[in-house]
Amino acid sequence: MLLALTPDSRAPSSVAARPRSVAPERALMDAIRSGDEQLAPQVYAGLLPTVHATLGRVLGSPCRGVETLTRRSIEQTITEISSHPSPWVCKLAAWATAVSARLALDVLRSRARSRGVEVSWGDTMTQASGDDPRTGAPGSAIDRLRWLLAELPLQQAEAIVLCDVMGLAPTEVAVILGVGLEHIRRLLCAGHERLARSLA
C-alpha cells in the first residue's frame, strides 16, 4: 500500500527530477544562510513546488489550510538550512521535503488526537480529487494508511514518509534529521513491522 503514496515513476517528481545544476543550488543555499533578500524570490520559487508536492502526497489534496502549511514549511526550511553547518550536503528539495513532511505528519497526528478514536479512515479535511490513486478519496485505503502512519511513533513515521513515500535516500534523511544512518535504518525496520501488523 505504501507504493500508492510514492512518486509516480512515469512522471518527474520534485525530489527525483532535480533539474537545477550544482552552482545555482549552492548559490540559493548561500543566499539563505547569508539572509540575502535579493534572491528571496528565487528561493521561494525553488522551494514551492517541492513543498506543494509533499503536502499533497502526505495529506491528500486539496487540503484545508494548505496556504498556511506552505508558508510555515518554507519558513522552517529556511531556518533549518540557515542553522545547519553544511546544508549543501543535501539537495534543497530534500530539505523542503523533510520539513514539509514533518509538518504534514503533525497535522495528521493532531487530527487523530482530536477525534479520540482508535480507527477513523474518513477525513473531513481532505476531499476527493478525481481517481488519482496517489491522493486517495476520504475513507479509501490510502486514507487508512495516512491514519496508520499518524499512529506510529513520530520518528518511525517520519523515516517511512521521507524514505518510502517521498523517495529520499536514508543518508539524506540522516543528515537532515541529525542522526546516524543506522538509526534511520532501525526506525524504518521498526516502522515497517508495526505497519505490517496493522495492515494484516
* 21-25, 36-40, 45-49: least confidently modelled range: 21-25
CA dist 70 and 38 (Å) reads 21
| Candidate ranges 17-26, 60-69, 107-116, 178-187; pick with highest mean pLDDT | 178-187
**Residue 186 scores a pLDDT above 90:** yes
| Residue 136 grid cell | 486517495
pLDDT at 180: 96
CA dist 94 and 100 (Å) reads 10
Across the chain, mean pLDDT equals: 79
pLDDT at 39: 84
Measured from the Cβ of residue 187, the count of other Cβ atoms closer than 10 Å reads: 25
Percent of the chain with pLDDT over 90: 46
Q: Which residues contact 91 (CB under 8 A, 6 or more apart)?
A: 15, 18, 25, 172
Q: Amino acid identity of 101? A: A
- pTM equals 0.75
**pLDDT band at residue 144 under the 50/70/90 scheme:** confident
More confident of the two residues 91 and 20: 91
pLDDT at 119: 38
**Residue 153 scores a pLDDT above 60:** yes
CA dist 121 and 145 (Å) reads 9
* 106-115, 170-179, 180-189: least confidently modelled range: 106-115
Residue 191: domain span = 2-199
Condensed to tens digits (0 to 9), the pLDDT of residues 104-137 reads 999 988 887 776 544 333 343 333 334 344 444 4
**Residue 92 scores a pLDDT above 60:** yes
**Residue 31 scores a pLDDT above 50:** yes
How many independent structural domains does the chain possess? 1
